[in-house]
A and B are shown apart, each in its own frame.
Chain A
Amino acid sequence: MAKAKITFTDIDQTVNVPAGTRVIEVSEKIGAGIIYGCREGDCGTCMMHVEEGWNNLTEPSVLEEKVLRENMASRHDRLACQAQILGDCRVKPA
């Protein structure tokens, strides 16, 4: 299975994950500082900033785009509960 590395820069930890893993799954287990609410892409609490590897995450859905807009997300912000890891990336809490 294809692997990818995701780095949580707030705790400086890197995890080697199977491609397709959602960021939330890794972030929770490693204890990174991304905070969660609904876990369903609705509340916007888990917004994170992608420092590197923006294109290595799955495309945001229409619903996620809406929530990001409502939360005034800046460029390269994503919801950790929605984004799946396809290649190497570096993220931190937004």
Chain B
Amino acid sequence: MTAARSERQTVAQPGEAVEIAPGVHWIGVLDPTLRSFDIILRTANGTTYNAYLVRGSESVAVIDTVKAGFAEEFFARLESVARYDEIRVIVLNHLEPDHTGALPELMRRAPRARLYISTRATTMLKALLKPKGDERPFEYETVGTGDEVSLGDRTLRFLHTPFLHWPDTQCTYLVEDGVLFSGDVFGCHHCDNRLFNDLCGDFRFAFDYYYAHIMRPFKTYVMDAIKLIEPLKLKLIAPTHGPILRDRPRRSLTRYRELSSASFSERIDNDERSLIVFYMSAYGNTARMAEAICAGAEEAPGVRVSLYDLEGGELQPFVDLIESADALALGSPTINGDAVKPIWDLLSSLAVIDLKGKLGAAFGSYGWTGEAVRMIEDRLRGLKLRVPVPGLRVKLIPTDEELDACRDFGRALAGAIVSGERGKVIDFADLG
């Protein structure tokens, strides 16, 4: 084999599918110029929309498709290895438009194909593929963990892996070859025409970055999925974005397990609960409130209290702290009828972590109107935190009596943290 031919085989060429395992081809597309994905993710060298074709002795399966604007490139690669009338199975592991954009046209070109989706995907399918005029709606079959589709000498088995990262997500396992078509799980936004993880540039940061923004809010579901995937024989993991993981694919599971552990240990100490108090203060009044709240909360046995001035720190470590805390209290002055920007910056950074079961509280000093506290409380509730103690507002400089009220506020919050321990009954009226 010449060096040029060897080089050609490892680089995706236009119009040519790439064999990733015997009879299994990558028929995806490269999007190297993309710099921002779904508004929320930066993509320094673009991304790929990976789709795959599996040839069995009796039929051909297509697993996932690509974004609509790239459909022709996808069809050209598909046509290099299969005829449309051979396709009997189309699997969608995830229905987001970057993987279903070419589906309507594929269904038209491959009328003998049957569509397989997860049970939770039906309403999304109907919303994505609204039939026009007198078009018949697409027929589909829903599948769950353990369901199988035979391609003759090969079998596709489905794994129900919801919320990775939509309710509909599933993985598909090619049983005889140990290939896992994992959907967005184990994917990343990294565009490299060498396709395989042992040939691509170093994409480890992209893998972690993708996890942090896409999978991190669903850590419990990630761990459930890993339990399903771990017992499988894994020769290769084929995700829908980024490099195909053929070199030590199991390392991706290990990394997901690491990333799914809390950034800090789950508890500071097994018996301790953690309250983090953050504040911003223009003239030191909200700061004095924060200190008094901490002093009150610290009286509760079993609650460790931490106090931070938001002005003095970066957001990311604070987000990590909140992830492993039981409660957070936010203090802000009211400036021009609003809480100050660093508070909103922190609150808008919390979408990437699981806030389930945490408590929230708000406080602050104000000069004129004092709207900030109520606004923060509303946002905390919007993030589904329980706000057990009504917010505390002090007009300008706190008096000794008002600082006593701050200590009481801290005590009440710490009390709620302790009494809200698992297994105890809370009254609906106390939920705020």
**Interface presence of B386 (CB below 8 A):** yes
> In the complex, are the beta carbons of A31 and B123 less than 8 A apart?
no
Q: Is A18 interfacial (CB-CB < 8 Å)? A: yes
Taking a contact as CB atoms under 8 Å apart, the answer to whether A15 and B356 are in contact is: no
| Contact yes or no, B425 A16, CB < 8 A | yes
Q: Is B358 an interface residue (CB 8 A)?
A: yes
- Give a binary string over B387-430; 1 marks a CB under 8 Å from any A CB, 0 the rest: 00000000000000000000000000000000010111111100
Q: Does A56 touch B at the CB level, under 8 Å?
A: no
Instruction: Name B123's contact: one of A5, A13, A30, A44 (CB within 8 Å).
Output: A44
Measured between beta carbons, the chain B residues less than 8 angstroms from A10 are: 220, 356
Of the four ranges (under 10, 10 to 19, 20 to 34, 35 or more), the interface on chain B belongs to 20 to 34
Complex CA–CA separation, A45 to B420 (angstroms)? 27
Any A CB within 8 A of the CB of B431: yes
A31 contacts B357, CB within 8 Å?
Answer: yes
Interface size class of A (residues with CB under 8 A): 20 to 34
Measured CB to CB, the nearest residue on chain A to B142 is A72
Query: A11 to B428, Cβ gap below 8 A?
Result: no
Instruction: Say whether, besides A29-B432, A45-B167, A70-B122, A13 and B426 are in contact (CB < 8 Å).
Output: yes
Q: Mark B109-137, 1 if CB is under 8 A from A, else 0.
A: 00000000001101100100000000000
Candidates B358, B422, B427; contact of A15 at CB < 8 Å:
B427
Contact (Cβ within 8 A) B122 A18: no
Contacts of B355 in A (CB 8 A): 31
* A-B complex: 8 closest residue pairs judged by Cβ atoms: A72-B119, A29-B431, A12-B422, A11-B357, A17-B428, A14-B425, A31-B384, A31-B357
16 pairs, CB–CB < 8 Å, chain A vs chain B: A11-B356, A13-B424, A15-B426, A15-B427, A16-B425, A17-B428, A21-B428, A26-B428, A28-B384, A29-B428, A29-B431, A30-B426, A31-B384, A33-B220, A67-B123, A72-B122
